[in-house]
Structure 1
């Protein structure tokens, strides 16, 4: 096989062969195969603007172009890809099935270009740039205060963008390249091979309530059958799903989730001011000031525990600032594990002393 780069053609030579006793002479077949030209980054960015705004006119204004110029941009992309990407309707510009698929790749392309520029900048100066991290309640309480304090000492010029929530809320931003890393419990669903999972430490659940809640003296899950609960995140993921499984294992009805919230501040306020209860990581109510406003209901059943992990894209290397932040998270997670181990040993010793006494 030979390639003619000037005419964008490939030449295939078929060897001579004996067929039915006759000698065939070598035959050269020339077939023109059209390859798409290299897509322009500006066209890809313009297409992203259309997807973001849902309108040719709004996207043109956002990009500082005229509507006809943006229409020509879409036409170039569609001619190169041989599919329709955008359809104009009375509601605006709507992406086709191909457009949606192309958008996912387009976002990665523009994100990687931005990250490449940021990486060079951070290599030239460790005191600039930014890092974006998503976190659930447990690492926000147990890891981030010390980690960020150390990070600010190491890289005082780097801006940290912090988003709170469970992993499902961060996954799309990770895949779009808008978030560097996320930290939280490993979800039951939603993980693919494009996301790397790096375990940090184990955490256990408690059932939390306000200090004035009548259910604070309950001693079993059966005592909580009529309770009204606050759910955190989707019911099929997170602490709520683990508690539901615990109820099922003991032959009890699944708890009634009366409120579902992504805001930990709202959850803490509801627990303090109402009779609602919620499954939370133990660490979230052990520190100030929540330890003086919330308590763990002392049920006898052993509640589930789960792994807090660091998540990042598998095929996108972390920028220097994000890489340093990830290193600090692993280091301080080790310290947390050691501290938890010491507390557990002390608890066992205290229990043994009380039995002997």
Structure 2
């Protein structure tokens, strides 16, 4: 493997036409330059210079290698600049992933603010459930993902990924307008044992399992009257008075305004966090800063009849 230092000395000798002048230009001694070029010639097994009274000129092999040396030097300058640009967020891309309700409530504001601060960075977004998002970050298909889990009994395996907590998203119960518990400070899980339920049947298994986990703590199995894969439909069904449903705080904006939303006892919370690889690019750290700021804005709206 050729030494880049040798190539730089070769280019300086070729440009100056003299090892002495090249040495002065590079702040080397003339003997050091001569020794380095002799080493390069031995490595390649061919002369690179023709010596004459006024200095040196390149052989055909020397001219060929010098052209490559110039290209290598240009590539190194370009690489150095690109790294500086990346560190200073003047270039690059950031591939984001998020679950549905985070993508509708957190991510748009985060993207808007990030683009204001770093307009040169290209952003993309994939909507994925937390399990798939963690897999995508681990496999390097995504740089950063916003996911959720349920403390104190988490489901996700983060492996070696780094986690940055963003917010605790309370899960509320959506009740039909005029429901007997629609003005209650807290609604106990046991008070809902006889209610018909709407189950989230979206592809995300964690959302599907949320209702079962909640009802299990109350000692009963929920009666599933309907299933829906989005909170717009769930909200309209609750509004129609046909059943009750669990709704995370990040999704309450998708429900009709007249649907009461009450806190639960015991409390059910989703822990929302950003996950990334340990060696992530500077753009990831900057986006996490923005996400933390966006997550601090109050969003949950507890509503009574």
**TM-score class, shorter:** 0.5 to 0.7
Relative contact order, higher structure (CA 8 A, sep 6+): 2
Q: 1:221 to 1:124 in 2, by over 3 A?
A: closer
The match for 1:203 is 169
Structure 2 unaligned segments of length 5 or more: list them: 1-78, 182-190
Question: Could you list the per-position Cα deviations for residues 146-195 of structure 1 after superposition, in whole angstroms to 9, with x for gaps in the alignment?
Answer: 32221111122322211223211212211210101111212633414322
Q: 1:124 to 1:181 in 2, by over 3 A?
A: closer
| Among candidates 163, 174, 193, match of residue 222 of structure 1 | 193
- Aligned partners of 2:225, 2:118: CA distance in 1, in Å? 43
Residue in 1 that maps onto 2:214: 246
Q: CA deviation at 1:297?
A: 4.8
* Selected match of 1:174 from 129, 137, 141: 137
SS at match of 2:201: strand
Match of 1:102 in 2: none
Change (3 A) 1:221 1:122: farther
**1:189 pairs with one of 137, 155, 164:** 155
Q: 1:260 to 1:227 in 2, by over 3 A?
A: closer
1:332 and 2:294 correspond: yes
Question: How well do the aligned residues superpose, as a CA RMSD in angstroms?
Answer: 3.8
- By how many angstroms is 1:328 displaced? 1.2
2:270 matched to which residue of 1?
306
2:281 aligned residue: 319
Q: 2:246: which partner in 1?
A: 279
Residues 122 and 291 of structure 1, relative CA distance in 2, 3 Å threshold: farther
| Match of residue 94, structure 2, among 113, 131, 145 | 131
- Equivalent-residue separation in structure 2 for 1:321 and 1:189 (angstroms): 28
Give the structure 1 partner of residue 186 of structure 2: none
Q: TM-score, structure 2 length as denominator? A: 0.56
Give the aligned partner of residue 231 of structure 1: 201
Counterpart in 2 of 1:10? none
Three-state SS of the structure 2 residue aligned to 1:252 is coil
Larger Rg: 2
Q: Secondary structure at the residue paired with 1:295? A: coil
Partner Cα separation in structure 1 for residue 232 and residue 270 of structure 2: 21
* Aligned 1:68-107 pairs, distance under 5 A: none
Kindly state the Cα deviation for residue 257 of structure 1 after the two structures are TM-superposed. 8.1
Aligned to 1:161: 124
Q: TM-score, normalised by structure 1?
A: 0.49
Structure 1 residues not aligned, in runs of 5+: 1-115, 348-357
